Amino acid sequence: MTELLFRDDAYLTQCRARVIGHTPEGGIVVDRSVFYATGGGQPGDSGQIDWGGGTMSIATAVKVEGGDVALVPAEARAMPPVGADVLMRLDWERRHRHMRVHTALHLLSVVIPLPVTGGQVGVDRGRLDFDMPDAPGDVAGLEAALNRLIDRDLLVTSEWISDAELRANLTLVKTLTVAPPMGQGRVRLVRIGEIDLQPCGGTHVARLGEIGRIEIGRIEKKGRQNRRVTVSLA
């Protein structure tokens, strides 16, 4: 399996890795990665790799069979061969905005304590879909509550529990349709101070103050019981 360096240090912007394969679609499989691979509603990271034979822009990263990560070139060109050592450089500005949005969505699930039916992280905004038959009446109040939490500048940390421990405490799982990242024997939990704890494999800021001000956009009806709530970086 590819070593997922971003899980232990979301602020690591580059690393050296070895090419261990190529996918039929033209991806470059590496033995370790600072690039987050698309999943859980969060896009894969972009950036650049350098090796003895050249330089290549990376459009995204994806998960492939066996738990490995493949880097997807931004354009078709000669790839580094299997066995090549590469230097991976992350598009940090884009990643950090994903981190800010993703952490803000965790806070949104605190101020709207309802089951989550879907979600998506973007560079400027993100959204959660809630099992919410009726739209909230005080959107301005929700936005104010969200920003008050950010102003507390609580620490955001991670910890691990076993798959069995999570199955014994499924109240930690807020999503109805997206399964937690299980199957490897342990599950990563993201903790925000004393206010939130939930399974998540994505990248997050270290303190809430990094998010900055958040604005809640329109709330859309998506089906009989679902409401989509969008938040944006101000």
Pair 117, 130: CB distance under 8 Å = yes
Task: Look up tokens 């394969």; give the residue.
Answer: 21
Which CATH number fits the domain 95-233, given the four candidates 3.20.20.70, 3.40.30.10, 2.170.190.11, 3.30.980.10?
A: 3.30.980.10
Pair 18, 85: CB distance under 8 Å = yes
- The single-letter code of the amino acid at 178 is V
Q: According to the model, what pLDDT value does residue 177 have?
A: 62
**Structural domain spans, the chain:** 3-90, 95-233
84's CB contacts (< 8 A; 6+ apart) are 18, 19, 51, 52, 53
Residues of the chain predicted below pLDDT 50 = none
Give me the sheet containing 125-131, strands edge to edge. Answer: 116-121, 125-131, 226-233, 214-221
Q: According to the model, what pLDDT value does residue 24 have?
A: 94
DSSP states along 50-82: EETTEEEEEEEEEEEGGGEEEEEESS--PPPPT
Distance CA 36, CA 113 (A): 28
Residue 148: name the closest of 97, 211, 218 by CA.
Answer: 211
95's CB contacts (< 8 A; 6+ apart) are 10, 36, 45, 203
Residue 159: name the closest of 179, 180, 195, 186 by CA.
Answer: 186
Q: According to the model, what pLDDT value does residue 182 have?
A: 59
Q: What angle do CA 69, 210, 217 make, to 5 degrees?
A: 90
Top-level class of domain 3-90: mainly beta
How far are the Cα atoms of 70, 138, 196, 202 from residue 189, in angstroms, in the given order?
A: 24, 31, 10, 10
Pair 48, 13: CB distance under 8 Å = no
Pair 21, 53: CB distance under 8 Å = no
Q: According to the model, what pLDDT value does residue 223 have?
A: 82
Distance CA 51, CA 81 (A): 10
